[in-house]
Amino acid sequence: MKKMPFLSDEIKALWFENATDVHGYQCDFYPGIVSTKVWADEEYLPLCHLPYMPKGWADVDGIPESGELDCTETYSVSYGAIHPIFCAFLGIMYVVYFSLLFTWYRASRSRRKTKNATHPPYTVSEKFYVGALVICVTGIISAVDVGSAAGIIPNWLYSCLLGVQGSGVNVILVLMVTNWIAIMTARGRDTSMLPWVRKVYLLGIGGSVVDFLCTSLEEFTAPDVDGAYDGTVNGIKHAFLGLLEGGFCVLGLVFALRMKSQMSSGQQVNEKQKEQVRKIVGYTYVVGGAGSVGVLFRFSRTALRLGVTVYPAPACSAVGFIMGALVELVVLLVVTCVVIAQRPSKQKKIKPHGETMMTTAASTSVESTEGS
């Protein structure tokens, strides 16, 4: 039998007559779920060490042994088959995406090598590949034990992996938006960033670093219980990132629409280029839509977590488990968009010294070597 992390005065005062009471206490803090008892304490306090729960807590016919909780059942066991299925799904998807992206990345690098440039500068397209590959690697590792629910991956390590994935998504967003701005503000063949665009770029990269550090270290803000963290710190992080990501989504939409307007004006632009720009704008709408959902998610977390300590708790249903894995699903969605957008065209040839403004703008995987 595993020891409980702590027994507060409130927990000591509770008497669990059967598993229904344990289940009710556990799920009473989920909206719309009513327990069989009204607990005196309004703050949820975990009963066992992460990732353990009282054995049989999810079975309303079970009865704890004389009121003493047997903390030997993992969250994964409580979830049932959905946890290993979800882990397998994420793992398979990331392995497939890694294989595709790595193949395309190597092909791109090999085509651009010359006798005088064995290590040519990275194009924006290749930076997308690298960012997505890093996310895939961390995704494959974290898919072994999503949420540390089976106790295979320590919670601190899972937090670091999730921090890398979240910051990687932000980096991809920053690269995409600032590159489009650089294209629209280009001076002839010079697609290097203007000073204000570079400042926006550095702000976005700085925000990505903040995301990684906060996600990786926030559990140390509440050291009494493994997996707990200070909700105020977490809420401030989400508010900052919500503003940052929302700003980049707006910039991306504005400049993508400008690109569409310019390419539709008929200035020696053929139909193929117009079609490619329509694809870019379509991807922008997807990013804008996903970004809007992400911003709402950020601010909802800010509103719910300020001033409280957030403790780990298993979901009380399959739907609750999926809702708790929204971050993992959003990250996978972003990588999916990168794979779709960055797949190489059979007719496209990479030019080591960049493209003209119109050709670059019409490519869904921009090849400029200057835009970083």
pLDDT band of residue 209 (cuts 50, 70, 90) is very high
Say how far apart CA 2 and CA 54 lie, in whole Å: 10
User: Do the beta carbons of residue 230 and residue 222 sit within 8 Å?
Assistant: yes
State which amino acid sits at residue 339.
Answer: V
**CA atoms of 372 and 357, how far apart (whole Å):** 16
Query: What are the residue ranges spanned by the domains of the chain?
Result: 1-71, 80-361
pLDDT at position 16: 62
Q: Which of the 8 DSSP states describes residue 189?
A: T
β-pair partners for 309: 230
Rounded to whole angstroms, how far apart are CA atoms 284 and 175? 13
pLDDT at 371 over 50: no
pLDDT of residue 134: 95
Q: What pLDDT is attached to residue 138? A: 96
State the pLDDT at residue 97.
97
Whether the bond between 51 and the residue before it is cis, its omega within 30 degrees of 0, is: yes
Query: 336 — phi, psi (to 5°)?
Result: -60, -45
pLDDT in the model for residue 67? 53
- Nearest of 132, 131, 118, 188 to residue 370 by alpha carbon: 188
What does DSSP say about strands 73-74 and 229-230: parallel, antiparallel, or unpaired? unpaired
Most confident of 57-66, 310-319, 341-350: 310-319
DSSP character at residue 230: E
84: its two tokens: 């290993």
Its pTM stands at 0.78
CA distances from 155 to 73, 137, 149, 328 (A): 17, 18, 9, 15
CATH architecture of the domain covering 80-361: Up-down Bundle (1.20)
Q: Work out the average pLDDT over 18-38.
A: 56
Q: Are 41 and 277 in contact (CB under 8 A)?
A: no
Q: Which helix (H) or strand (E) holds 268?
A: none
Taking a C-beta distance cutoff of 8 angstroms, is the pair 241, 224 a contact? no
pLDDT at position 89 is: 97
Side-chain-facing half-sphere of 257: CA atoms under 13 Å: 8
Calculate mean pLDDT across residues 203-232.
86
| Residue 62 confidence (pLDDT) | 54
29 pLDDT more than 60: no
pLDDT at 73 over 60: yes
Between 367 and 228, residue with greater pLDDT:
228
pLDDT at 268: 58
pLDDT at res. 79: 86
Q: How far apart are the first and last CA of the chain?
A: 55
> Which of residues 315 and 101 earns the better pLDDT score?
101
Are 329 and 43 in contact, with CB atoms under 8 Å apart?
Answer: no
Residue 38 has pLDDT above 50, yes or no: no
DSSP-derived letter for residue 41 is -
Is the pLDDT reported for residue 11 higher than 80?
no
Are 219 and 237 within 8 A, CB to CB?
no
> Biggest alpha carbon distance in the chain?
83
Which tokens belong to 296? 């709402």
Instruction: Taking residues 143-148, report their average pLDDT.
Output: 93
Q: How far apart are CA 350 and CA 109, in angstroms?
A: 10
Tens of pLDDT along 175-200?
Answer: 888 887 887 777 666 667 888 989 99
pLDDT single digits (tens) 289-304: 767 777 888 888 888 7
pLDDT at 252: 83
Contact at 8 Å (CB) between 1 and 45? no
